[in-house]
Structure 1
Amino acid sequence: MLPSDSCSQIRIEDCYIVSGDDCIAVKSGFDEYGIKVGIPTEHLVIRRLTCISPSSATIALGSEMSGGIRDVRAEDITAIDTESSVRIKTAVGRGGYVKDIYVRRMTLKTMKYVFWMTGSYGSPPDPGFDPKALPEITNINYKQVVAENVTISARLDGIHDDPFKGICISNVTITLAEKAKKLQWNCTDVEGITSNVTPKACDLLPEQKEAVDCAFPDDRLAIEDVELVTCSASTPFF
């Protein structure tokens, strides 16, 4: 697992990860402690990642996200025999936000879930947590996804009176497994749109009559222009 916690300008490229947990975990602090410190994880680019993780996510956003997570750009992602793709994990009491998430060009093979968002994740917090600290989940974009041998296309569970908003999913083709679940899109307390998605999404994410291409930023992050310098040294033998 590669963790990223309360840091900015990160680039993760060309990784092959086999894990018993999330292949990449993006975090920013736990509950009231993360809220107090208030340092987000932001401006993160992940590209050309291959993940194998039968019981966890390819990329997890949270569940410790109380300092905020924003501007995550993931592209050219491959997952094989993995529980889910880019998953959002949060709950009441965590506060913070997960917003401005952009994902494109995923190739997924043998998945339990393609899309998974959870608004009730984790063990009970310690007594100091604020039950009124609701997380903000907004502007979540997925596009250009091909998935095969899938059990459930999507499980999207927001929070009552605090829905996950601004979800956009476009140009997605999902081929189901032989023993796929009958209910393919299970959605509660979410708002958004879909375009050119098969199988058809839930009513809370209506198919648009005119084609929509979900957002992905055109600008470059500063970290993308940082060159990695490699060097080698030899020790003389006496």
Structure 2
Amino acid sequence: MLKKNSFGLTIRLSNLRYINRFSLCFIRSNIVIQGLTILAPVTVPNTDGINPDSCTNTRIEDCYIVSGDDCMAVKSGWDQYGINYGMPTKQLLSRRLTCISPDSAVIALGSEMSGGIEDVRAEDIVAINSESGIRIKTAIGRGGYVKDVYVRGMTMQTMKYVFWMTGSYCSHPDEHYDPNALPVIQNINYQDMVAENVTMPAQLAGIAGDQFTGICISNVTITLSKKPKKVLWNCTDVSGYTSGVTPEPCQLLPEKQPGTVVPCNFPESPIPIDEVKLQRCYSRRRLM
């Protein structure tokens, strides 16, 4: 459905069923995706569910995704090509998504993030039998940034990781990437989450000399599996704080105010696409 509004042309995709992945690479802005069912074999890699790639002002809601890769993979270009193109993904809202991804993430940011990813909001997400809840993937040579990420109201069941950050995701399109192009990862906020049957709460690995900063994790309860990892929180080259989180996080993410749950700083104003109200169109067939 196409509808004109104060933002120009809004594209709406709803109530469709896809086999394999659905990509938004060909659509750049003002997008509403509702009620999609996306089914892919969980044993087949590279079958991402939805890929918002260099998109602005996008709303994704009420979708059900089964995937052999990331259920939602947010991207913006790869190494020097993404840096030169310079088109970020920003103002992205996702809510009421259900995901099954045994070998990948429910929400992945990167690893192709060289054009930048910012102002990403997700809420009311259900993850079942998935490798990780939220994963940030990047590497030396990517450049770009992932910043101002806000995720809350997530329920997870049977997970390997809840939080996963990787600063050494070292695939490159060719040998011409700039080894001095370091990514900026900052202001990452996770709040109001419950996870059960978890092997390891967090694997957070930044980049030496290029810390991932401004991490906030608040009001999160994680119940471990019968055979959890010995090290529950593995943190290197990251900084921030936690509040009201169990099991106890790593020392690099200390409790901000013991005894009091301090919320993360979530934005109060909506992104523009969340104020767009789309109408349904009907056609009436004339009987002969």
TM norm structure 2: 0.80
* Alpha-carbon distance in structure 1 between the residues aligned to 2:103 and 2:282: 38
Match of 1:16 in 2: 64
Aligned to 2:140: 92
1:134 matches 2:182: yes
Cα separation, 2, equivalents of 1:3 and 1:125: 18
Conserved? CA contact 2:74–2:109, under 8 Å: yes
The equivalences for 1:141-156 within 5 A come to 141-156=189-204
Q: 1:207 Cα shift?
A: 1.1
**224-233 or 105-114, larger mean C-alpha shift:** 224-233
Uncovered stretches (5+) of structure 1, i.e. residues with no partner: none
- Identify which range, 206-215 or 7-16, moves more after superposition: 206-215
2:264 aligned partner:
214
In 2: Cα distance, 1:100 partner to 1:197 partner: 21
**What is the RMSD computed on CA atoms of the aligned residues?**
1.2
Q: Which residue in the other structure is 1:175 paired with?
A: 223
Structure 1 counterpart SS, 2:94: strand
After TM superposition, the structure 1 stretch with the greater mean CA deviation from structure 2, 44-53 or 209-218, is 209-218
Residue 32 of structure 1 deviates from its aligned partner by 0.1
Give the letter for the 2:178 counterpart. D
The one-character-per-residue Cα deviations of 1:19-68 (angstroms, maximum 9, x if unpaired) are: 11111110000000000011100000011111011011111100000000
Give the distance between the partners of 1:145 and 1:17, measured in 2 at CA.
20
Q: Does 1:223 align with 2:270?
A: no
Q: Partners of 2:287 and 2:51 in 1: how far apart?
A: 39
Query: What is the Cα deviation at residue 123 of structure 1?
Result: 2.0
Rounded Cα–Cα distance in structure 2 between residues aligned with 1:177 and 1:202: 19
Equivalent residues, number: 238
Partner of residue 75 from structure 1, selected from 120, 123, 127 = 123
1:178 CA displacement: 0.3
Whole-Å separation in 2 of the counterparts to 1:231 and 1:122: 47
| Mapped contact 1:60–1:88 kept (Cα < 8 A) | yes
Name the TM-score, length of structure 1 as normaliser: 0.97
State the distance in 1 between where 2:143 and 2:206 align: 14
Which has the higher relative contact order, 1 or 2, with Cα contacts under 8 A spaced 6 or more apart?
A: 1
Equivalent residue, structure 1, for 2:156: 108
Deviation at 1:234, TM superposition (A): 5.0
Q: Which runs of 4+ in 1 moved over 3 A?
A: 234-238
- Structure 2 segments unaligned to the other structure (5+ residues): 1-48
Deviates more, 1:157-166 or 1:201-210: 201-210
Asked whether 1:160 is paired with 2:208, we answer yes
Q: Distance in 1 between matches of 2:287 and 2:140?
A: 62
Which moves more between the two structures, 103-112 or 125-134? Answer: 125-134
Partner of 1:66, secondary structure, is: coil
Give, in angstroms, the shift of residue 126 of structure 1: 1.1
